[in-house]
């Protein structure tokens, strides 16, 4: 649009220049012919008195041979000479030349009827004079054009921004509000496609979660019957081994059901909680149980969050730290961008860098012995990440410089409650 506006202005200015030049040539042709005819009919002693009257801004008359010079090489000078020749060339013999040392100046020489020399000294006016208000009008047009384009682009891309925001905020429960299917045709079509995709993915995931939840739930009944039958068996080493296997199966089923629930989303409503008090209570509970857990820092402001989900995430991270390192340091602080950062650090062996994201995969266990007492079910971190996403948070793992692992839960700044 800016280029088109500039080209339009340039074409208009060029056309105006050509029209003005043509008008000036016609004016010179008529005026010079009239002036020369008048001087030719005046007595020789009266011609000098008329020179000032006949002079114009772009040319004057000289009673004399004038100044010689090289041939004309400027386009405008050639046009002026041609225009004068058209007006009086049939009556008087003309000779035109440029004046040396001048930017653009020419003289046309002729002889009147009585043989007296006459010179027309011409200084053509190049270009078209611009009105002082014209650049201001052009600048105003460009500013108006820029504002109109900005508004048009904003209106056209607003549905796209809504689409990007909907994709970014799509949680694990896939229950986000559908996008409005209005706006330009292409944008409305993209919104309809996104809503349909969200619905299909939600149905696809819901079916598989329902299968997982059903299997995990239905397994509890045969496990209970097996425990009852086990209790009727004679005491012995085999009975202890079978009881241990059943306990591991029960733990796996419980974790499977819990994981299915987190994928469905939690029905818990967000409410105002004292995050400092919540963390202090959790740390005190671990300390009373003889565990090495310490709390560092305070946020100093309440949060609008789901307390049970938050307690489950932090508790899971502390349990992992105690299981693999025997100690945990819990810290809470405000990030540089206003976010809330809850970190659980331990002095353990850490995790290989290439597996820091893989450990969040359901049923993935770093410990290779397949012993549930040392390796767990492989669902703890998966559940913690799902609950973090349900709270619009982000859970990540990183190895510490001095050794050990740091698990950090980052909650958005909008969850902080500021009292007016």
Question: Rounded to an integer, what distance in angstroms lies between the CA atom of residue 371 and that of residue 22?
Answer: 100
Give yes or no: residues 203 and 116 share one domain. no
Considering the domain architecture, whether residues 300 and 392 belong to the same structural domain is answered as yes
Handedness of CA 264, 268, 272, 276 (dihedral sign): negative
Portion of the chain with pLDDT greater than 70, in percent: 88
d(CA 285, CA 263) in angstroms, rounded, equals 28
Q: How far apart are CA 388 and CA 313, in angstroms?
A: 7
Given a cut of 60, whether residue 63 has pLDDT beyond it is yes
Yes or no: say if 246 and 230 are a contact pair by the CB < 8 Å rule.
yes
**Per-residue pLDDT reduced to its tens digit, 84-110:** 888 887 788 888 888 887 777 888 899
Classify residue 237: in a domain, yes or no.
no
User: What phi and psi, each to the nearest 5 degrees, are found at residue 151?
Assistant: -65, -40
Q: Counting Cβ atoms within 10 Å, is residue 310 exposed (0-12), middle (13-18) or buried (19+)?
A: buried
**Residues 6+ away with beta carbon under 8 Å from 5:** 141, 142, 145
Q: How many domains does the chain have?
A: 3
Q: Verify that 14 and 64 share a domain, yes or no.
A: yes
**Domain of 323, in residue numbers:** 268-415
**CATH code (residue 371):** 3.30.565.10
Q: CA-CA distance, 252 to 260, in Å (whole number)?
A: 12
Provide the whole-model pTM. 0.50
Q: How many Å apart are CA 117 and CA 66, to the nearest integer?
A: 9
Assign residue 31 the CATH number of its domain.
Answer: 3.30.450.300
Q: Whole-angstrom Cα distance, residue 49 to residue 40?
A: 13
**What are the tens digits of pLDDT across the range 330-383?**
999 988 888 899 999 999 888 888 888 888 887 777 764 333 445 556 778 888
Specify the residue for token string 């090289």.
Answer: 70
Domain boundary among the residues 178, 196, 218 is at 218
Indicate if 213 and 274 belong to the same structural domain: no
How far apart are the C-alpha atoms of 17 and 12, rounded to whole Å? 9
pLDDT digits (tens, 9 = 90+) for 222-244: 878 887 877 777 777 777 778 77
Q: Check if the beta carbon of residue 263 is closer than 8 Å to that of residue 257.
A: no
**Are residues 275 and 204 located together in one domain of the fold?**
no
> Which tokens belong to 35?
């002036």
Q: How high is the pLDDT of residue 169?
A: 64
- Domain contains 231: no
Do 321 and 408 have their domain in common? yes
For residue 212, which of 246, 249, 253 has the smallest C-alpha distance?
253
Residue 131 located in a structural domain = no
| Residue 177, CA distances (Å) to 162, 171, 174, 195, 199 in order | 11, 11, 9, 9, 11
Note the pLDDT of residue 295. Answer: 94
* Residue 109 sits in the same domain as residue 168: no
């Amino acid at each position: 649009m800016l280029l088109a506006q500039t080209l339009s202005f340039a074409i208009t200015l060029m056309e105006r220049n050509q029209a003005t030049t043509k008008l000036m040539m016609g004016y010179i042709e008529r005026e010079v012919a009239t002036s020369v005819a008048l001087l030719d009919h005046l007595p020789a002693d009266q011609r000098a008195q008329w020179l000032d009257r006949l002079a114009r801004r772009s040319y004057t008359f000289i009673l004399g041979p004038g100044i010689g010079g090289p041939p004309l090489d400027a386009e405008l000078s050639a046009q002026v000479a041609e225009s004068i020749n058209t007006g009086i060339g049939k009556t008087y013999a003309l000779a035109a030349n440029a004046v040396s040392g001048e930017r653009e100046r020419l003289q046309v020489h002729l002889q009147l009827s009585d043989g007296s020399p006459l010179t027309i000294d011409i200084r053509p006016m190049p270009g078209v004079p611009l009105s002082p208000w014209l650049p201001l009008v052009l600048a105003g047009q460009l500013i108006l054009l820029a504002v109109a384009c900005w508004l048009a682009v904003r209106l056209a891309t607003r549905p796209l921004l809504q689409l990007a925001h909907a994709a970014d905020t799509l949680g694990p429960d896939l229950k986000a509000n559908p996008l409005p299917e209005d706006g330009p045709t292409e944008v409305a079509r993209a919104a309809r496609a996104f809503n349909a995709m969200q619905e299909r993915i939600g149905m696809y995931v819901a079916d598989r979660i329902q299968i997982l939840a059903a299997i995990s739930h239905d397994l509890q009944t045969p496990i209970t019957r097996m425990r009852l039958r086990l209790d009727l068996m004679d005491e012995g080493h085999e009975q202890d081994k079978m009881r241990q296997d059943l306990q591991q199966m029960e733990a796996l089923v419980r974790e499977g059901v819990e994981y299915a629930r987190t994928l469905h989303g939690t029905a818990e409503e967000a409410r105002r909680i004292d995050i400092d008090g919540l963390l202090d209570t959790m740390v005190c509970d671990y300390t009373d149980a003889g565990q090495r857990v310490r709390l560092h820092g305070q946020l100093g402001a309440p949060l609008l969050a789901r307390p049970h989900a938050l307690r489950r995430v932090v508790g899971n991270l502390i349990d992992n730290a105690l299981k693999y390192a025997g100690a945990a340091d819990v810290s809470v602080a405000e990030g540089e961008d206003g976010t809330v950062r809850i970190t659980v650090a331990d002095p353990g062996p850490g995790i290989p860098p290439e597996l820091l994201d893989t450990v969040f995969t359901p049923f993935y266990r770093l410990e290779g012995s397949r012993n549930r007492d040392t390796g767990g079910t492989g669902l703890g971190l998966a559940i913690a990440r799902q609950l973090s996403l349900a709270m619009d948070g982000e859970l990540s793992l990183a190895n510490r410089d001095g050794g050990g692992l740091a698990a950090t839960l980052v909650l958005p700044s909008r969850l902080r409650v500021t009292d007016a």
